[in-house]
Amino acid sequence: MTIAIVAAMHEELSALLAQMPDEQRVRVAGRDFWVGHLNGQAVVAVLSRIGKVAAALTATVLLERFGVQAIVFTGVAGGLAPGVRVGDVVVATRLLQHDLDASPIFPKYEVPLTGHARFAADTEISEALAEVAAEVLVDPVALLGQKVVDDFGLRLPAVHRGLLVSGDRFVSTAAESAALRLALPDALAVEMEGAAVAQVCHDYGVPFAAVRTISDRADDEAHGDFTRFVSAVASRYSLALVGAWLAA
Ligand code: ADE
């Protein structure tokens, strides 16, 4: 069984890529697919680049060219729900494209002709990722070091499970995140790829899961918070969460 590990940006996956001892680079569609092992598990790791089209293309190549049997997306997201803070982890149970609207022909958010707006993540993988995340977050100092914990104020990071929404927009104003909260009150966090990959995996009948660390609150400070978090912290979470899950 080969599992795909995908993140949008190098900063989100660099620590994990550094732990693959035997990776071989295969270049397809301008992307590097790293084929090898992580903690004894056969994996293909790849950077999708940012946005729904880039992510959907990457997922399709993983399924068609590499025959992966599951796809896990990792990286960062902007917190939307009130209790979802920087440093927390969100494991998706369902994913929706918040910028998809073919109404009145189809209901808002519904992917036309599928009958679905919310695509389910694989229960087994998602539960296992959430369990691992809860264990890892018990000791953020062991995970990230005292300085990072102090710099980012990561006192007691929490694990949340629920709706993750994706769109081709970096949400960087309080007004925009408030509008998303109003339209989708159960959305925990927002990013730019997950729901697109969930749709592709649904079409192929392949399990999908997404585990994201909150880098910002999708508000007026999102730009600065995101930039600081991805450069200093993001890939360490990805390695700890996905690495521990693969080792389990
Ligand atoms: N990924 C991380 N933060 C985000 C935000 N605020 N909007 C969209 N994607 C994000």
> DSSP string spanning 145-170?
-HHHHHHHT-SS--EEEEEEEE-SS-
| Residue 77 near ligand 1, beta carbon < 6 Å | yes
Protein residue whose Cα sits closest to atom 4 of ligand 1: 78
Determine the 3-state secondary structure of 33 from DSSP.
Answer: strand
Residue numbers in the chain where pLDDT is lower than 70 = none
Give the pLDDT score at 248. Answer: 86
Q: Is 216 in the pocket of ligand 1 (CB under 6 A)?
A: yes
Domain residue spans of the chain: 75-247
> Which superfamily does 75-247 belong to?
Nucleoside phosphorylase domain (3.40.50.1580)
Among 213, 216, 217, 230, name the best residue to mutate to test ligand 1's pocket (greatest count of ligand atoms within 8 A of Cβ): 216
Cα distance between residue 92 and residue 211, in whole Å: 7
Known catalytic residue: 216?
yes
Give the pLDDT confidence score for residue 104 in this predicted structure.
98
Q: Is the CB of 215 under 6 A from ligand 1?
A: yes
CA of 90 to the centre of ligand 1 (A): 13
pLDDT at 13: 94
Question: Over the stretch 184-229, which tens digit does the pLDDT of each residue have?
Answer: 999 999 999 999 999 999 999 999 999 999 999 999 999 999 999 9
Going from the C-alpha of 99 to that of each of 3, 31, 180, 195, 213, the distances in angstroms are 29, 26, 10, 11, 22
Reported pTM = 0.97
135 is catalytic: no
